[in-house]
């Protein structure tokens, strides 16, 4: 969000930004239920669930069908309380109510490539609630499987395979190491189609003329042509603003290319 603000604050304003998720640690499989509108719809849902004392639902978690029966919602006073009833019965995962978005969410208790949550179905006994809580196929979002922890290059390679329309990239992660930057720069240098990589650093070595170990010096020594560095102590994502200014240029027209000399970066203090 912070990086995107800088990108879209540029003038002229760019129009398109892709955001990809980097799994720094192994992720859990998850299923997000359909939305329940704030107000009367959620009130009606709570009242309907409170009438159920023998609720049942089947939720696939990590490849195994988990059948939950005897769900008693009569004592619940909120939809979060209803989620807690299901959560208590589902010992292999976590069920919660997202009050901000108005939906039930199911997350596997495991992480990695085998972690998964599938669409819920009726359990075959008791009062079926799968459709009521919108966790079924057609009412819920597409399930998202868990994945193993990724390196930055693995994440970027996946992004390149998913979509070929993006040209520039950055990582909105202030904890990125110099080795992370070097790995990504090496990948970008050989990428096809051509792409560029931008990074922001607050390391004081970058502005020390005697430093021979800072990330800018090392990258220059490697003679990479498709990576650039910006020094900033006011924003960890300052380079997003540079991208925003450069990417409004129409490279298909005549006499439209620009330099970045004297260009401003709204939101970034010099």
pLDDT tens digits, residue range 13-38?
Answer: 999 999 998 999 999 999 999 999 99
pLDDT at 175: 87
pLDDT at 251: 84
Q: Give, in degrees to the nearest 5, the angle at Cα 32 between 26 and 34.
A: 170
pLDDT at 145: 96
- Point out the residues of the chain with pLDDT beneath 70: none
pLDDT tens digits, residue range 134-171?
Answer: 999 999 999 999 999 999 999 999 999 988 889 999 99
Phi and psi at residue 228, to the nearest 5°: -135, 155
What predicted TM-score, i.e. pTM, was given to this entire model?
0.80
Count Cβ atoms below 10 Å from residue 42 Cβ, excluding itself.
16
Largest CA distance in the chain: 75
Per DSSP, the residues of 138-181 read TTSPPPB-------HHHHHHHHHHH-S---EE----TT--HHHH
């Amino acid at each position: 969000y912070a990086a995107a603000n800088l990108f879209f604050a540029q003038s002229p304003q760019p129009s398109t930004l892709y955001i990809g998720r980097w799994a720094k640690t192994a992720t859990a499989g998850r299923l997000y239920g359909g939305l329940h509108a704030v107000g009367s719809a959620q009130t009606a849902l709570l009242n309907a669930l409170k009438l159920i004392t023998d609720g049942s639902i089947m939720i696939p978690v990590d490849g195994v069908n988990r059948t939950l029966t005897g769900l008693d919602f009569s004592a619940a006073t909120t939809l979060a309380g209803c989620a807690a009833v299901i959560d208590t019965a589902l010992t292999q995962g976590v069920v919660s109510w997202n009050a901000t978005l108005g939906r039930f969410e199911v997350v596997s208790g495991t992480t990695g490539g085998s972690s998964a949550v599938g669409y819920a179905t009726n359990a075959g006994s008791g009062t079926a609630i799968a459709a009521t809580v919108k966790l079924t196929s057609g009412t819920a979002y597409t399930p998202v499987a868990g994945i193993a922890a990724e390196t930055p290059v693995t994440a970027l390679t996946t992004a390149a395979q998913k979509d070929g329309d993006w040209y520039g990239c950055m990582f909105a992660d202030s904890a990125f190491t110099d080795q992370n930057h070097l790995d990504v720069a090496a990948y970008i240098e050989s990428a096809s189609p051509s792409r560029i990589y931008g990074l922001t650093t607050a390391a004081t070595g970058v502005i020390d003329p005697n430093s021979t170990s800072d990330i800018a010096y090392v990258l220059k020594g490697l003679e990479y042509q498709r990576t650039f560095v910006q020094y900033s102590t006011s924003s960890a994502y300052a380079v997003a603003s540079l991208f925003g200014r450069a990417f409004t240029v129409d490279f298909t027209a005549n006499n439209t290319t620009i330099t970045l000399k004297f260009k401003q970066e709204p939101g970034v203090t010099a």
